[in-house]
Amino acid sequence: MKSQNICKFPISSSAESLKTHCFVYEADPENLEKKIRLSRHRLLLIASGSGTFFVNGTSLSVHMGAFLFLFEDEEFFLSDGHELTCLYVDFEGIRGSELLHRFGIHRDRRYFDGFGGIIPLWKDTLARATSDTLDLAAEGILLLSLSRLSVEEVGRSGIVSEMLEYTEQKYDDSELSISFLAEKLSYNAKYLSHLFKKEMGIGYSEYLRNIRINYARGLLDHGLDSIKNVALLSGFSDPLYFSEVFKKVVGLSPKEYISSQKEAKRG
């Protein structure tokens, strides 16, 4: 299986606004199971199979046709991969960051589903690229993929946009849930849940949980060590439940996480 891998690196460009650094077809899931820390942003397209990625301790289920954005300085690895293969482009630069901002792509919104139709184009572009054209091929496939994503974004329903906006403003409210939103927006909760999962590629409860846990980690990283206060500030009314969810997502309990951060600072 390893012999099927394709990994190409473009010649260094003088352009500072957007730089692509590699264009890869990864056919061996074992290579993805090794924890790595990225030095650049990465757009990853699942070409086949399914699995679970852990990104900075947060789990994210993926399957064929999904785009996954990873960011500079993040740690990630694949777990429970089922015949998973993927393609990816690494990139950096001022324009790259501007494009991410333009399309609203960030750590709490990195997963986009329904792009299976673009997989053959990625593969063909990589196969045809030469050392002289690889930088153009990698940049072209990156920009094309973002443009496809833009089309999907234009087609997003106003309902989901309202859900996202309200969630980003009120995620620290412990009463916030799909039922709460359904009552506020005057929609059926099951309908909203289905629509959100269809358009965002992730369930609402998981989306809200990830936002809250990421915020909690930020509070702990900045020295707040009262687990009860962190729980309340992050939208959890029950500190014990917060600790359970935190450990499930991060892999460490809040106390263990605090200790690990203190050890890292001493080191």
Q: Give the 3-state secondary structure of 29-56.
A: HHHHCCCEECCCEEEEEEEEEEEEEEEC
Sign of CA dihedral 197, 43, 23, 56: negative
Q: In CATH terms, are 2-154 and 158-266 the same topology?
A: no
Q: Where are the domains of the chain?
A: 2-154, 158-266
The CATH label, of 1.10.10.370, 1.10.10.60, 3.30.465.10, 3.40.1350.10, for the domain at 158-266 is: 1.10.10.60
What is the token pair recorded at 95? 């324009």
- Quick: pLDDT tens for 227-257: 999 999 999 999 999 999 999 888 889 999 8
**How many helices and strands (H and E) does the chain possess?**
11, 8
- Per 3-state DSSP, the chain is made up of helix, strand and coil in percentages (nearest 5) of 50, 20, 30
* pTM exceeds 0.75: no
First to last CA, the chain: 40
Nearest residue to 104 (alpha-carbon basis) of 54, 184, 159, 168: 168
Instruction: Count the Cβ atoms, other than its own, within 10 Å of residue 90.
Output: 23
**pLDDT at site 114:** 82
- Quick: pLDDT tens for 136-153: 888 888 988 887 776 555
Under a CB-based contact definition with an 8 Å cutoff, are residues 178 and 189 in contact?
yes
**pLDDT at site 16:** 47
The CATH label, of 3.40.50.300, 3.20.20.70, 3.30.1330.60, 2.60.120.280, for the domain at 2-154 is: 2.60.120.280
Under a CB-based contact definition with an 8 Å cutoff, are residues 130 and 48 in contact?
no
Per-residue CA distances from 162 to 95, 108, 169, 192, 197 (Å): 28, 16, 11, 11, 14
